[in-house]
Amino acid sequence: MGNDKGGRLRRHVTRRSATLLVIANIIGAGIFTTTGFQAADIGHPLVILGLWLLGGVVALCGALAYGELGAAMPSAGGEYVYLRRTYGGAFGFMSAFVSLVAGFSAPIASVVKGLIGYLAAYVPALAEGAGTGVVKLGDLAAIGVVWLLVVIQLRGASSGFRMVDWVTLTKVVGIVAILVAAVLVGRGRFAGLVTPSPGFDELGMADLMTGLATSLVFVMFCYSGWNAAAYIAGELRDPERDLPRSLLVGTGFVVLLYLGMNAVYFYGAPVTELAGRVEVGLIAARNLFGDVGAVAVTVVLCASLLGSATAMSVAGPRVYYALGRDYPAFGFLASTGRGRGVPVSALLLQGLVTSAIILSGRIDQIMQYAGFTLTLFASLAVSCVITLRIRHPEMPRPFRCWGYPWTPLFFLAVSGWMMIWAVRGRPGESLLSLLTVAAGGLLFWLTRGRK
């Protein structure tokens, strides 16, 4: 493969690797950090567990829609391809721009900052806010992890996918072991699963709705990798069959793990102890297993976070690669390097953007910003299923969305409700998300003449 725009990605990815990529993309920092934010906003374990279940159902509905779209349009790029085909170049371009900033770079930043946050329990110098310089040591360590992953990807496409496979299998085995150990030997209390915080009964309807919507944004951010296999459709050996199956199997499996992990958190610690804390997994593990068990759990959590960051570093550049092939102004993003089969320039650009985001804010701010934007464009992509069924009923569809039209409509309804109330709960992050979309539209307008 050459360095020119005509470089191609090889069809070498198996269904197993695609499924593991979905699992790795979904299970990131969120499941180990966001429950503390939800505990502070809502304060009732059963309501929080219900939100995780609702988020899982919504993610599965989205996976069904993407399965139909990806099987019909098996090219690298995910929603960039679907939106460009359905609604025109402007929508596709904005989705690719948002993917660069909020879709992958921001989640990777969140994951590696979460990784460093857990390590800070044992290396205090890495703690957020530690140090006196403008750039904290913890942020520098997070940036170092980002560029280590870039170097691994640059070795070739096979190296990246092999790392995703092994790290994902390791973290899945580790998480299942935590769930089993919590039931068999954990020193927890089942009362923690049903006991709300003292302030829960004092919440008014408006505050409760805002808290639910804001928390659901966090939850959907944690499920945001359910569409991961769609981005590598151009590299799947049999995308018409493997893409829908990998999306559904990977997403469904993670729903079960997420419900189990949250149950373990509340079994190990009361909601008041978790409220507002980032390291909820470590808190619950220490209560359940003591210091020795907490160290073992931390190893599993760190492996999980590293796997998620690796998977997103694989998937993201495929979107920018697709953009570079369609727009000469960004043709450098389609460079695959000589014999590497990796979008080299796109990977380097993602590393730079991720590094900047790491320096820009806290984990909860990054997650809320990214979650709102991801929900917006995932909703637009899911709507493509309905639009294309109406406009192009003759289009070949190797896989058809189960439960159509109710499954995509349910996804759109929940996502719309969530975004409306999230604007009220976190207006700053929501406004920044919309400004990012607007910036993508402006960039498209400035460069469209060179298409």
How many Cα neighbours within 13 Å face the side chain of 298? 19
Under DSSP, the state recorded for 400 is -
d(CA 176, CA 171): 9
| 354, 360, 366 from 136: Cα distances, Å | 16, 12, 17
- CB contact set of 405 (below 8 Å; sequence gap of 6+): 386, 389
User: Tens-digit pLDDT profile for the chain (451 aa)?
Assistant: 333 344 566 777 888 888 988 998 888 767 877 888 888 888 889 999 999 999 999 999 999 999 999 889 888 778 889 999 999 989 989 988 888 887 788 888 888 887 887 788 778 877 765 554 567 788 899 999 999 989 888 876 666 677 788 888 888 898 898 899 998 988 888 888 888 887 777 667 777 777 787 788 778 878 888 888 888 887 888 888 889 999 999 999 999 999 999 999 999 999 889 888 877 888 888 899 888 877 877 788 788 888 888 888 888 888 888 888 888 888 888 887 665 667 888 999 999 999 998 888 676 667 667 777 888 888 999 999 999 999 999 999 999 999 999 999 999 999 888 788 777 777 877 788 888 889 988 988 888 755 4
CATH no., domain 15-450: 1.20.1740.10
Bond before 74 cis per omega within 30 degrees: no
**Structural domain spans, the chain:** 15-450
